[in-house]
Amino acid sequence: MVKPKVAIHSITGCAGCQLEIYFVEDILLQILDKIDLVAAPMIKEQNYDGKVDICFIEGSVTYDENIEQIKKWRENADIIVALGACACDGGVQQQKHFMDKEVVEHYVYGEERKHLKAVPPTPISDHIEVDFYIKGCPADKEEFLWFLKQLLVGKTPKQYEKSICHECKLRENHCLLEQGRECYGPITYGHCSIMCPDFNHACTCCRGPMKDANFEEHIKLLVEKGYDEQQIRQRMQKYAGLRVEKLMNNDKNKS
């Protein structure tokens, strides 16, 4: 059997998702035996630039060259998988959409900012067609593996549709909302190994909102628990604000 050619590429981001997926140590060698990893600049010196079967992209689009780059990868790949919150939803940096651009850039780069060619950060799906999404900040290695295995047997993976809350309840955790914490588990996509609530950290919505997230009621719930509404809205913008906004507008149009 011909091994599928796989590329793992990165645009603007912290590279944490790549780092995470290379941590599947116990079976990494077995996986490398099943694929032909032709490009993975983080761990390989020689990287091939041509046609591949599967291309994972992490990071968000933050300047024009990124767009050219991902378009080329799209042309060269049968399947594009957005890897992690930045690629899927814009990630932490897309908060810039909800702030004053000048203020942000001045804060980070001072006077040097005049040389910047940055554009407001966007998910890769704003520019190219994306086949699959592995959400999260960082992407979860178990989910990556699950995805990869499905692709390798020739299946179209199904996007996971259940909430963090569903999985957290399965873990029999003491509900953080119940303890008065600011948790976004009920409206956030699960399949992340429930790392945060397992360690007593409330869910911060890093995997982005579920397609039918009931934002208004969740906000009400958190306000009742004493949290500030504006702060809640900002928190929901942290990783996937653009999508949150889009879904909220849909809700408004519906009602």
Partner 1 sequence: MTELPEIATVDDIKQQTTSEYLIRINKGYKHDPGQFFQISLFNIGEAPISICSYDKNYIEMSIRSVGNVTDKLNALQKGDTIGIRGPYGRGYPMHDFKDNNLILIGGGSGVAPLRGVIQYIEKHRDDYKDVHLFFGFREPKEMLFKEDIESYKEKFDVHLTVDHPDDHWKGNVGVITKLLEESRVSNENTIVFLCGPPIMMKFGLQTLEKMGFNRDQVYLSFERQMKCGEKKCGHCMMNGVYVCKEGPVFRYDEVEGLSEKW
Partner 2 sequence: MRARLLSKHEFHRFLEKLKSQGTLVAPVKEDIVRFKEITDVSAITTEGHPLFPLKKYFSPQKRKIFTYENNNIEEVLPEKQYIMFGARLCDINALLRLDKLFLGDISDRYYQRARANNLIIGLHCEIPPNEMCFCESMGLSDSGYDLLFCDAGENFHIKVGSERGNALVQDLPESDFQPEPIKTEKKLHNTEIAAFFENDAWKKEVEKCLSCGACTTLCPTCLCFDVYDDPDVEMNKGARITEWDSCQYEDFTKVAGGHVFRQAREQRFRHRIFHKIQYYKDQFGEFMCTGCGRCIEGCPTKIDFVEILNGMKQ
Phi then psi dihedrals of residue 50, to 5 deg: -95, -150
**51 vs 155 by CB, closer to partner 1:** 155
Q: Does 72 bind partner 1 (CB under 8 A)?
A: no
3 state SS of 52: strand
From residue 190 to residue 229, the character string flagging contacts with partner 1 as x (rule: CB under 8 A) and all else as - is ----------------------------------------
Does residue 223 touch partner 2 according to CB under 8 A? Answer: no
The DSSP output letter for 202 is: P
**Closest-CA residue to 243 (of 12, 56, 251, 160):** 251
Residues 154-173 that bind partner 2 (CB under 8 A): 161-163, 165-166, 169-170, 172
Considering only CA atoms, which of 46, 57, 60 is closest in space to residue 7? Answer: 57
Residue among 119, 139, 126, 114 nearest 56 (CA): 139
Selected from 64, 78, 156, 211, the binder of partner 1 by CB under 8 A is: 156
Asked if 30 interacts with partner 1 (CB under 8 A), we say no
Q: Which residues contact 223 (CB under 8 A, 6 or more apart)?
A: 229, 232
Which one among 1, 153, 253, 255 touches partner 1, defined by CB under 8 A? Answer: 153
The verdict on 47 binding partner 2 (CB under 8 A) reads no
Of 196, 184, 190, nearest to 237 by C-alpha is 184
Q: Which of partner 2, partner 1, none does residue 2 bind (CB under 5 to 8 Å by kind)?
A: none
| Binding status of residue 233 toward partner 2 by CB under 8 A | no
Chain residues binding partner 1 by CB under 8 A are 153-156
